[in-house]
Amino acid sequence: MFIDNIKIYVKAGDGGDGAVSFHREKYVAAGGPDGGDGGRGGSIIFKVDTGANTLLAFRYKRKFVAERGGNGMGDKMHGKSGADVVIKVPEGTLIKDPESGKVIFDMANADEYVLCKGGRGGWGNRHFATPTRQIPRFAKSGTKGEEREVLLELKMLAEVGLVGFPNVGKSSILSRISSAKPKIANYHFTTLSPNLGVVSIGEGRGFLAADIPGLIEGASEGLGLGHAFLRHVDRCRLILHVVDIAGTDGRDPTDDLDKINLELEKYSPELAKRPQIVVANKIDSADMDSEMTKRFVAHCKELGFDLMYVSAVTGDGLRELVKKTVDKLDELPPLTVYESEYSPEDAAIESSAGVRETTVTVDENGKYIVEGEWLYNFMGQIRFDDYESLNFFQRVLVKNGVIAKLREAGIEEGDTVSIYDFEFDFVY
């Protein structure tokens, strides 16, 4: 089964709690606090699996939770760090936010990516000893690990995509020019998933080609199989548009060419502008002097497409097609890599999905108290002595509606705001 789009839940491990402990040893007076810190929680890390070309592994396992950090112990002993969870995905997988559809990271861009960081371990009580507080009987809890739902969407890294109506010979051509062994038969929708093939011409030159199945008229609206697989030509630098020039089954190659290009245009105007080589297949059984063929050739010339004549049955023209494809690829820009559409502010908010409730209360002194589980975790990421970090903190408060809630509560300029022991004067 071919799966290329799936939603999963991931959660990094929580940090371990700091320990409350005091040194006790014979003949050692006033040993003092010696509580150790909690361990870091495990992170969620995505890695590229070069041997995979489907997300089938996620069909039955869609929840991934990393290990919690160990609690601190006496004698200044740190808790054990939680084990990371490594999720392997095919090269070319996009990690996206399921609500907005924004790209978080493209796994064509790196071998690994840390999506959710583990919580930090809490401090043991030894950190809280002061000249006036020599017996601190408290420690700090570990922060929670980041968690979220993400959409995994596979977009293959094929440089060349073979498109065309069913039964025009795409799989046959791919089997002749590469080592791929797709299923081939004389009926529609023989191919039920994209097939990949490595095409080599020696001396280290070649390309990766994908046969995109199921394109028919209306594919961009969900008819046939094509709409499910059109995403796999998104990265293609060059399209080989295969057409049955013999007009088998009463088809008109000119009409077929226009209909498939229209489906590409509807799916993605940018994709429709990609360079194309029109591959006129089945010349072994075509009447090259017919009016239908002449009209087709004239139409390709009018559209400015390169036209190559081949026969997947006899092998005629395939060597020339491969050479033409390689030469064309040398002129084209590199594979598309999707830039992250997610801002650091988005990531800070979404990393605590499901726990984003914020409460604003006013105490007896007129101080505005802001609380929320996501805020507690987020505060651990901020360096309040750094100007840039403070600016980032302010942007997240604005974007997550905290400032709006303060205004709804009636705050005025100069009033004091307290967020987990961090206080500041409100300024419009």
SS3 content of the chain, % helix, strand, coil (to 5): 25, 25, 50
Angle at 193 between CA 192 and CA 196, to 5 degrees: 135
Question: What's the confidence (pLDDT) of residue 47?
Answer: 95
Query: Could you tell me if 247 and 236 are in contact, meaning their C-beta atoms sit under 8 angstroms apart?
Result: no
CB neighbour class for 211 (10 Å; exposed up to 12, middle 13-18, buried from 19): buried
Question: What's the confidence (pLDDT) of residue 238?
Answer: 92
Name the stretches of the chain with pLDDT < 70. 1-2, 28-30, 180-193, 203-204, 214-230, 232, 342-356, 380-381, 428
Name the strand (E) or helix (H) holding 148: strand 147-154
| Single pTM value for the model | 0.70
Going by C-alpha positions, the residue among 191, 82, 193, 195 that lies closest to residue 142 is: 82
Question: What's the confidence (pLDDT) of residue 221?
Answer: 55
Going by C-alpha positions, the residue among 195, 276, 271, 260 that lies closest to residue 234 is: 271
Query: Could you tell me if 46 and 94 are in contact, meaning their C-beta atoms sit under 8 angstroms apart?
Result: no
| Rounded Cα distance, 21 and 32, in Å | 9
Contacts of 185 by beta carbon, 8 Å cutoff, 6+ apart: none
Strand order of the β-sheet with 93-96 is 63-65, 5-11, 147-154, 93-96, 103-106
105: Cα separation from own chain's centroid: 5
Give the 3-state secondary structure of residue 202.
strand
Question: What's the confidence (pLDDT) of residue 365?
Answer: 84
| Rounded Cα distance, 95 and 108, in Å | 11
Contacts of 317 by beta carbon, 8 Å cutoff, 6+ apart: 283, 308, 309, 310, 311
Going by C-alpha positions, the residue among 49, 79, 55 that lies closest to residue 67 is: 79
| Rounded Cα distance, 8 and 233, in Å | 24
Q: Which domains does the chain have, with CATH numbers?
A: 1-153 (2.70.210.12), 160-331 (3.40.50.300), 352-425 (3.30.300.350)
| 116-138 residue pLDDT tens | 989 889 989 988 888 888 888 88
Angle at 315 between CA 312 and CA 316, to 5 degrees: 105
Q: How big is the chain by its Cα radius of gyration, in Å?
A: 30
Question: What's the confidence (pLDDT) of residue 305?
Answer: 93
| Rounded Cα distance, 165 and 264, in Å | 12
Name the strand (E) or helix (H) holding 228: helix 226-229
Question: What's the confidence (pLDDT) of residue 193?
Answer: 61
The angle, 0 to 180 degrees and rounded to 10, between the axes of the packed helices 318-331 and 170-177 is: 90
Query: Could you tell me if 171 and 98 are in contact, meaning their C-beta atoms sit under 8 angstroms apart?
Result: no
DSSP label at residue 52: -
Question: What's the confidence (pLDDT) of residue 178?
Answer: 83
| Rounded Cα distance, 357 and 363, in Å | 19
CB neighbour class for 415 (10 Å; exposed up to 12, middle 13-18, buried from 19): middle
Tokens of 136: 């601190």
| Rounded Cα distance, 177 and 201, in Å | 10
Question: What's the confidence (pLDDT) of residue 391?
Answer: 83
CA distances from 352 to 371, 373, 408 (A): 14, 8, 24
Residue type (1 letter), 153: E
